[in-house]
Amino acid sequence: MLKLYVGNKNYSSWSMRPWVAMMQTGIAFEEVYVRFDSFSADSQFKQRMNGINPAGKVPVLQDGDLSIWDTLAIGEYLAENFPEKNLWPADKATRARARSICAEMHSGFSALRSHCPMNIEALLPNRGALIWRDHAGVRADVQRIVEMWSQLLQSHGGPMLFGAFTLADAYYAPVVMRLHSYALPVPVLISEYMDRVQALPGVKAWVQAALAEKDFLAFEEPYRLQP
Ligand SMILES: N[C@@H](CCC(=O)N[C@@H](CS)C(=O)NCC(=O)O)C(=O)O
């Protein structure tokens, strides 16, 4: 059976992506949870990941002796192995577009990622309002996301970015959680898409497990003393 190594569900946005994709499309896997004690070289996390991923990060997908790390590679491996799950859009040009926005997420949106780290359990509207006021980079990232999602939802007719659920929705699910936690301002078309993403069984299952963790990690949220 496939094994998926993931970190704390409250915080690990990268782990969330393949986990949601597999849960949502019914790909069976065994979850291996590796707690974030810290990311220092001598942390239990790094020791646990030693020999599993040379980059020392989660998520990692293991298929027998084969370890696949980094979410784009995991997504491609799943799409190749489970073509019947339609993880990418069927049409070649549309598929290229879906890959483009996943790659854009992978290498971009650094202001949103650094100022609004994923924290599923938290509702931080006041913090979000200050970030929105003070960080033009966050406003620019959100503007680009709004433009991207609006264009896709309008051209494919929803309910997901490319019509039916694809890896692109799994890829942006942590962004949905960030926009929600920090209550960043978005148009109705976007908030309705966010509601639909949060209602997906795969996303609901992740959020439920994140809420059940109750594992406050001060190094993950230096802006709070307690939950
Ligand atoms: N580009 C990687 C990023 C993976 C990543 O940064 N994972 C975080 C957890 S969300 C991690 O393991 N961090 C440990 C570290 O930075 O040392 C991917 O797509 O999987």
User: Tell me, what amino acid is at 5?
Assistant: Y
pLDDT at 162: 98
Span 30-75, pLDDT tens digits: 999 999 999 999 999 999 999 999 999 999 999 999 999 999 999 9
Please tell me if the CB atom of residue 70 comes closer than 6 angstroms to any atom of ligand 1. Answer: yes
The answer, yes or no, to whether any atom of ligand 1 lies below 6 A from the CB of 117, is no
Q: Which amino acid is at 202?
A: G
Q: Which amino acid, residue 15?
A: S
Q: How far is the CA of 202 from the centre of ligand 1 (A)?
A: 21
User: Is residue 56 within 6 Å of ligand 1 at its C-beta?
Assistant: yes
Q: Are residues 75 and 103 in the same domain?
A: no
Strand order, beta sheet including 66-69: 30-33, 3-6, 60-63, 66-69
Instruction: Count the domains in the chain.
Output: 2
Structure confidence at residue 223 (pLDDT)? 87
Same domain as 154, residue 204: yes
Q: Is 13 in the pocket of ligand 1 (CB under 6 A)?
A: yes
User: How many angstroms separate the alpha carbon of residue 156 from the centre of ligand 1?
Assistant: 31
Low-confidence stretches of the chain (pLDDT < 70) are none
The reply to whether 103 and 201 lie within a common domain is yes
| 57 plus 155 within the same structural domain | no
**pTM confidence score:** 0.97
Distance of CA 43 to CAs 34, 46, 118, 138, Å? Answer: 11, 5, 21, 31
Same domain, 65 and 149: no
pLDDT at 225: 87
**Domain limits at 113?**
92-209
Q: Assess whether the C-beta atom of 12 lies below 6 angstroms from ligand 1.
A: yes
Cβ contact 43:37 at 8 Å:
yes
Last residue in a domain, options 85, 103, 129: 85
Domain assignment present for 30: yes
Closest C-alpha to ligand 1, atom 10:
12
Local structure of 6: helix, strand or coil = strand
> Is there a single domain that holds both residue 99 and residue 204?
yes
Q: Are the C-beta atoms of residues 117 and 220 closer than 8 Å to each other? A: yes
Structure tokens at 214: 């109750």
Of the residues 85, 109, 141, which one is the last residue of a structural domain? 85
Ligand 1 centre from 92 Cα, in Å? 29
Ligand 1 center to 196 CA (angstroms):
26
162 lines ligand 1 (CB under 6 A): no
The confidence score (pLDDT) of residue 72 equals 98
- Indicate whether 222 belongs to any domain: no
Q: What is the CATH number of the domain that holds 129?
A: 1.20.1050.10
* Centroid of ligand 1 to alpha carbon of 69 (angstroms): 9
* Ligand 1 pocket mutation, candidates 4, 10, 57, 113, criterion most atoms within 8 A of CB: 57
